[in-house]
Structure 1
Amino acid sequence: MKYIFFLATASIAFTPVAPAFAQDSENDEAEIVVSGVRPAYRGDFEELEIPQADQIIDQETLRDAGVVDLNAALDLSASVSRQNNFGGLWNSFSIRGFSGDINLPSNFLVNGFNAGRGFGGPRDISGIEAVEVLKGPRSAVYGRGEPGGTINLITKRPQLETSGYVQFQGGSFDFYRGDIDLQTTLGDNVGVRIAGFYEDAGSFRGPKETQKYGFYPSVRFDIGESSILTYELEYTSQELPQDRGVIFSDQFGFSPRRLFTGEPDALIDTEVLGHQLEFQHNFSDDWSVLVGAGYRETSLVGDAYENNFGSRQPYLIDGETISRFFRFRDYEADYLALRAELTGEFNTGGIRHRVIVGVDYDEFDNDQIANRFRQGGIGGAPSSSLDPQTYLLIDVDNPQYGLYPRPIPAAQIDRLETTSGFGFYIQDQIDLTDKLQFRFGGRFDDFEQKLINRRSDPAAVNESSNSAFSPQAGIVFRATGGVSLYASYGEGIRQLSGTDFEGTSFDPNKSTSLEAGIKLDLGTVFSGVQGSASATVFDVDQSNILIFDSRPEAAGELIPAGEARSRGLELDANASFDSGLRVWFSYAYTDAEYTNSGTDSATFTTFDPGEPLINSPDHQLSLQASQSFAIADLAAQIGGGVLYVGERNGEVGGDFVLPDYTTIRLFGQIEPIENLAIRLDIDNLFDETFYTDSFANVWVQPGAPRTVRVSARFKF
């Protein structure tokens, strides 16, 4: 996968630190000092001025939660729920009940730019400063994205200082990990930062093992008083098995959560290599520009044994063995993006305008080869009548691995899809009065697609194009210096992969959203506390979901005709008290359901109006608290968290329901000597059996039992 990235963005100087509500500026003529590179598309707005719900998971919150990967970080947001992640091979999530293409990774951004496309494996949290959950459609500025919202990762960049840490962890199930984050300066104007990790881990699921490492160096050059040049490299390599999880049967329940149904020597290798170069320059107090270039490539190659579905699954008949099929994959993807953006402010007749105007172009090459060995149906036969080698049987109570030679798979997928798009966008936020602001804007996208099916002889080539417009509008009322009310409307799009029966590219998946809420700057409203709180109600409609075409002339082909709706309430708070207490709270009620009928493109099952969307709980809650104190003059901290996830539909068109669950985690930390912290983490304290997500009743992901980790971190 190749990724070349050019960027030109105007923005006011910004330092990516733990976010908080900014105080009203009383000095509009204050000198602008470049202290860091702002993620693009954002403009210069206080949180209370943004007519949308944003949730910022900062470095300290991530540290309190003890997270090491993106999935665990997103568990802190009740608006985000886990989706089937292709057996652990990538990140997949829904926001406000809506997910994208289940056969591709969920899109997420890094410093405002798309990094979720491709096949680089699940994202580690190493090298990440903060995680932003930007709720609601953002396509009016960001362009194509997930229908329910956008995840943006802010990376660690040099800050022209010397500091850092090294950390070592060890824990349950042969978990070993080392992390490093070091930064220093070369003279007065050059900063260097190196972040990275190495992890070697077993699993509670039998002989399953993973090995991964990442390296994320960056360098910063301050050029004069108004310019910064920054370079970042991203390299991650992972060796991991595809794990389709456990099986559920109405008669026999869930298969054992510790039973790994893959083979220990069937591994998937993923790799990411990316570069990013950015140059930021402030022209004046009101206008600045950011220019950049980058290159990125990813790959996914390897073998996998996967649980068979119902017509081939003896576990559903007798509960004794699980049959499997075999697949080989060789995926590569190239991603190219170009952008130019101008941001600044001006006055007309005493009315303040803050504008963002930009154009961008991207191109994504998705090259997939997949071969599959899959058996015929068993006709309700029990395990005893099946040939173990043909059906790759594994005993539920006494699993044995390496019994059968690798099957010879037949060609399943051999195609190259290239999608490209050009976009133009504009946003203007107008201060109508000291208290009332209005935002409006929109984006036009023009797409082109070329699909080469190499399984045909000769190869079949389809080319097509389409376009879309995504508007946005919002209003903000600053009731007081620390309280604002807002309402907004927005539309979002997500480009779909594949073509219809005439060889034409699909119209994009679309979402429209209405939301309203209240935001508080806790430091302004209350004494002795800093942080933010918000309450939001939302109503989102999604259309152009891919389903099977019901027309006789298009039998077996797909059409973007599915529809769904999500309504709900979100309550979020993040508070730091002068006493050393920190509290994170996130709750979401989400009612997400289909509003028409159809046959799902991934599961081949039929859904009806009113059926809940898969893996979307009605209620989800995340609560975390930590307290800093001293023991005999030694700095210490204790804390913990609670995660509650309600019942979820576990299979499109079926009656399989994932049970609700509550997990509790605790941690304690002490510094026996200066700059050395010893920490103990206990996850799933009461050893609850739970299941995080599913694709169907034969692919259900179990959560880990009680897990203990000990770490030592040395800072300097």
Structure 2
Amino acid sequence: MSKFLFHPLAWSIFIIQCSTNTVAAEKQLSVDESTERLPTITVTAEKQDERHTSSQAITQFNHDLLNVPFTKSHVSEKDIQNYNVQGINDVLAFVNGVVYQDSYGGGFWDNYSFRGFSTDPNMGTIYMRNGLSSVSGIHSPRDMVNIQAVDFLKGPMAAMYGQGAIGGIMNITTKQPEWQRKSTLSLSGSILEEYRLSVDTTDAINEDFAYRLGASYEDNKSFRDHVDNQHYYLSPQLAWRISDQTQLNLDTELAEYQGVFDRGIPMVDDKIAVNKKTFLGEPSDGDIKIKDQMYQLRLNHEFDDNWNNTTALTYSHGEREGISTEIGSIAADGRTANRFRRAREFKTDTINFQSILRGKFDTGSLKHELVTNIEAGHYTIDQIQRRNAAGTNSPLDIYNPVYGQNILVLTRVTKNTKETQDMIGINIQDQVFLNDQWNILLGGRFNRLEQQIDNHQTLISSQQTFTPFTPRAGINFKPTDRLSFYSNWGKGFELNTGLNKNNELYEPEKTNSWELGTKYQFLPQSWLGLTYFDLDKRHLLTEGITDSYVDNGHVQSKGLEVELQHQFSDRLRVNANYTYNDASVIESEVDKKGSRLKNIPKHTANLSADYQLNIFGHETGLVGNINYYGQRSANYIDNGTTLPEFTVVNIGGYLQIRPDLRAQLNIDNLFDKDYYVASYTNFWVQPGEPLKATLRLDWSF
């Protein structure tokens, strides 16, 4: 465990938390001893629509969305099922301000940008799990079998959750063990030879213990020549109800993803001329494999109606290894790809401790919601990367590829490093309700991080200590029960990796985030949101194709988000949103002022609808989704190449055949349009899937 777990300031905050907890517990004990226990009364109420609640992860307390100076985009369990969402990338089709980024190899990990800014493409994007800070490291794409809902929390979150939470962050709510038996077996297959089997089951072991098990397997052939992948996922959980106030959960996740590393297709003369099915790597390279495992002990305790605590200890391990042959450039003839070859062996280990104390109290007429949080972690990543000899090349005709020729030998080690990060974070936050109309939120987090990289090739070691303070402040004004205006501001950061030309660690990324918005709930299940955001980042680091890093310097992202959710009737619900996002370079040593940040369209929009009906006594539903993405820079350094705009239409329908059997058909890319999802360079463009029909059966037992 990191030495920061024993930092004096950390223990001071922890002792304060324990002291508060002890007082609350003693008060509760005295009440219990002097009061006769009365029979339990159960009150049943209609479940609140989670689209209109704030998500506890925003402030650590649950509120109506109109009562907090932030907003969110929510994707429910019902949406995940009805649209047959099988990965985080599919979720992005329903939200605004969040855009898919190239996963640096065709889907091997989740990667997206939030309001114009993305994170390290090698590791994927940081996200939260059940309102707790994320665990860094190598992860395979997130399986949806045990996900209850996904929230995209808008606004600066670094004051609560540390690095990576800049203009917002994704929070995944997982399904929990239940004391009533419930099981679902799902089987699906598509016309692109993609097959999936999953099971989700939960039940009580006895009155004190319950379990839940999520498991899935996928075998996907893909529309791309020579490209396929397989996924394995297992998530056993155990819950121990120690008392009415205390519960201990053990969560585990084990996953494996293996498949052909696919860089996509290149642009030639600023246009995509290659057939989207053409694979330009080497089939003989075999599969890239990713394995990850996570174990978490999480203790929740309620001291009384106003005070509670969540403490969690998490360990995560990840591995990535394999070989790939990739395009480095296109020759002057416009048809010969100059390719290089490399092998990777990456490993990460993370241990993280977090304890959150939440409390409500009054000072005169003011109502307070106080949060204190202590967090400590230790993270290591070992990276070995080998390439072919400098100057050698494996040419390939992109229009008539012949594989197996000029296979390059991996003789050169280009990376052999070990990086260590030790972190402690301590924060306090208070949301003060001045009256029924006004509330303010003030919070700040002290962070101490030590980073060290040891280069085993050059025997050079570099280290730095970084102690940022990340504040956030928000104000919310609610003139009526249906209307609110809000604004918030905050700072954020993220450690960069790698050594610069002077063999020193790069400066961490530093951000400022500000937004101004309004939310109008014009009907009980309908609301309109409008937000202007302004983000500023320094030391945005980007990795080039030669295993070197580029400091893009000073960049900015400004934009406008509009979201409409309207319940036309009990049967029809519609969600529409639009985002304008101008993300560009302000100052850089490698890019000119005004250059675009990669994969960030200025205009995106989507429209989705869910219509429920009854056919001969059977519950039935129809769903539809239209996504529009504008033009985007195709290269990590803006060289003028542009990905074309596209619109994709998806539809689906479901039928409850029997109470225990449900069938659904989803058709993606209904009009079979050619489109390109994202790219890292203009030689690595990821084509979108053609028309795909997927049939799914769910059996509940």
Shared fold, TM over 0.5: yes
Partner of 1:70: 88
The CA deviation string for residues 72-110 of structure 1, in whole angstroms up to 9 with x for no partner, is 112322211122211132222111111123343221222
Q: Distance in 2 between matches of 1:536 and 1:165?
A: 39
1:384 is matched with which residue? none
Confirm or deny that 1:544 pairs with 2:539: yes
In the alignment, what sits opposite 1:322? 337
2:437 & 2:450 partners in 1: Cα distance? 44
Aligned-partner SS, 2:89: helix
Residue number among 659, 681, 703 corresponding to 2:666 in the alignment: 681
* Distance of 2:452 and 2:678 partners within structure 1: 33
Match for residue 432 of structure 2 among 420, 430, 433: 430
Which position in structure 2 is the counterpart of 1:699?
684
Matched residue SS, 2:82:
helix
Which residue of 2 is the match for residue 118 of structure 1? 137
Matched, 1:394 2:414: no
Aligned AA for 1:648? R
Cα offset for 1:578? Answer: 4.4
In structure 2, the partner of 1:612 is 596
Verify: 1:655 aligned to 2:640, yes or no: yes
Given that residues 97 and 115 in structure 2 are in contact (C-alpha distance below 8 angstroms), is that contact kept between their aligned partners in structure 1?
yes
- Please give the residue correspondences for 1:215-230 in structure 2 after superposition, counting only pairs within 5 Å: 215-230=234-249
Aligned mates of 1:118, 1:152 — CA distance in 2 = 17
Q: CA deviation at 1:408?
A: 2.8
Partners of 1:19 and 1:450 in 2: CA distance: 42
Which residue number in structure 1 is paired with residue 168 of structure 2? 149
Equivalences for residues 32-43 of structure 1 within 5 A: 42-43=60-61
Which secondary structure state, in structure 2, belongs to the residue aligned with residue 696 of structure 1?
A: coil
> Are the structure 2 counterparts of residues 444 and 115 from structure 1 closer, same or farther at C-alpha, using a change threshold of 3 Å?
closer
Gaps of 5+ in 1: 24-36, 377-389, 549-555, 600-606
SS in 1 for 2:117: coil
Asked if residue 192 in structure 1 is aligned to residue 211 in structure 2, the reply is: yes
Contiguous gaps of at least 5 residues in structure 2: 25-45
1:270 aligned residue: 290
**In structure 1, how many angstroms separate the alpha carbons of the residues matched to 2:573 and 2:118?**
31
Relative CO higher for 1 or 2, CA cutoff 8 Å, sep ≥ 6? 1
For residues 437 and 123 of structure 1, the distance between their equivalents in structure 2, rounded to whole angstroms, comes to 36
Shift of 1:375: 5.6
- Residue identity in the other structure for 1:590: N
Counterpart secondary structure, 2:680: strand
Q: Is the 8 A contact 1:326 1:409 kept in 2?
A: no
- Range with greater deviation from structure 2 (419-428 or 475-484): 475-484
Distance change >3 Å, CA 39–CA 470, structure 1 → 2: closer
**Paired AA for residue 579 in structure 1:** D
Decide which of 608, 621, 626 is 1:624's aligned counterpart: 608
Matched, 1:644 2:628: yes
Q: What is the aligned-residue RMSD (CA, Å)?
A: 2.9
SS in 1 for 2:587: coil
- The equivalent of 2:415 in structure 1 is 413
In structure 2, the partner of 1:598 is: 589
Q: Is the 8 A contact 1:298 1:332 kept in 2?
A: yes
Q: Does 1:573 align with 2:567?
A: no
1:46 correspondence with 2:46: no
Q: In structure 2, the residue corresponding to 1:302 is in which secondary structure?
A: strand
Aligned counterpart in structure 2 of residue 56 of structure 1, from 63, 74, 85: 74
Offset at 1:40? 9.3
Q: Give 2:510's aligned amino acid.
A: K
* 546 and 171 in structure 1: CA distance in 2 versus 1, 3 angstrom threshold: closer
The whole-number CA distance in structure 2 between the counterparts of 1:565 and 1:16 is: 40
Query: Which of 153, 156, 159 lines up with 1:137 in the alignment?
Result: 156
* 2:155–2:488 contact (8 Å) kept in structure 1: no
2:652 to 647, 667, 675: 667
Amino acid across the alignment from 1:451:
I
8 A Cα contact 2:552 2:585, kept in partner:
no
CA contact (8 A) 1:621 1:645 kept: yes
Matches within 5 A, 1:89-104: 89-104=108-123
Is the 2:5–2:376 Cα contact (8 Å) retained in structure 1?
no
1:7-406 equivalences in 2 (<5 Å): 19-21=50-52, 42-88=60-106, 89-115=108-134, 117-250=136-269, 253-265=272-284, 266-309=286-329, 313-314=330-331, 317-373=332-388, 376=391, 391-403=393-405, 405=407
Deviates further, 696-705 or 575-584: 575-584
Q: How far 1:576 sits from its partner (Å)?
A: 4.3
TM-score by length of 1: 0.87
Q: Could you tell me how far 1:357 is from its partner in structure 2?
A: 1.2
Which stretch has the larger CA shift, 682-691 or 83-92? 83-92
What SS is found at the alignment partner of 2:600? coil
Residues 189 and 221, structure 1, Cα contact 8 Å, conserved in 2: yes
- Kept in 2, the 8 Å contact 1:137–1:147? The answer is yes
Letter in 2 for 1:542: K
Alignment of 1:520-539 (within 5 A): 520-521=520-521, 525-526=522-523, 530=525, 532-539=527-534
| Contact 1:691/1:701 (8 A) holds in 2 | yes
Q: Against the structure 1 CA distance between its residues 418 and 234, is the aligned structure 2 distance closer, same or farther, given a 3 Å change threshold? A: same
Task: State whether residues 509 and 543 of structure 1, in contact with CA within 8 Å, keep that contact through their aligned partners in structure 2.
Answer: yes
- The structure-2 alpha-carbon separation of the partners of 1:64 and 1:673, relative to structure 1 and needing over 3 Å to count, comes to closer
Residue identity opposite 1:593 in structure 2: S
**TM-score where L is the length of structure 2:** 0.89
CA distance in 1, matches of 2:339, 2:500: 31
Post-superposition Cα deviations, 1:439-490, rounded to whole Å, max 9, x if no partner, equal 111111111111110012xx22222212111111111112222322111111
Instruction: Name whichever structure is richer in helix by fraction.
Output: 2
Separation in 2 of the partners of 1:183 and 1:685?
36
Is the contact between residue 123 and residue 139 of structure 2 (CA under 8 Å) also seen in structure 1?
Answer: no
Preserved CA contact (<8 Å) 1:41 1:142: no
Match in the other structure for 2:31: none
Cα shift at 1:531:
5.0
Give the drift of 1:587.
Answer: 1.5
Matched letter for residue 339 of structure 1: Q
Q: Give the match's secondary structure for 1:538.
A: strand
Residues in 2 aligned to 1:333 and 1:547: alpha-carbon distance in whole angstroms: 20
Deviation for aligned residue 1:666? 0.8
Contact 1:245–1:700 (8 Å) recurs in 2:
yes
> Is structure 2 residue 685 aligned with structure 1 residue 690?
no
Question: Are 1:5 and 1:295, in contact at CA under 8 Å, matched by a contact in 2?
Answer: no
Moved more, 653-662 or 500-509: 500-509
- How many correspondences in the alignment? 661
Q: Say if 1:575 and 1:678 are closer, same or farther in 2 by CA, change over 3 A.
A: same
2:161 match: secondary structure:
coil
Q: What is the distance in 1 between the residues matched to 2:58 and 2:157? A: 13
The answer on whether the counterparts of 1:147 and 1:542 sit within 8 Å (CA) in structure 2 is no
Task: Tell me the distance in 2 between the aligned counterparts of 1:391 and 1:423.
Answer: 48
1:325/1:375 contact within 8 Å kept = no
**Deviation of residue 139 (structure 1)?**
0.7
Letter aligned with residue 689 of structure 2: A
Q: Is the 8 A contact 1:640 1:666 kept in 2?
A: yes
Change in Cα spacing, 1:128 to 1:279, as seen in structure 2 (3 Å) is: same
Relative distance call for 1:399 and 1:505 in structure 2 (3 A) is closer
1:338 offset after TM fit, Å? 1.6
3-state SS of paired residue (2:50): coil
Residues 404-483 of structure 1 aligned to structure 2 (within 5 Å): 405=407, 407-456=409-458, 459-483=459-483
Contact 2:510 2:538 in 1 (8 A): yes
d(CA) in 2 for partners of 1:496 and 1:408? 28
Once the 2 structures are TM-superposed, how far is the Cα of residue 409 of structure 1 from its aligned partner?
A: 3.4
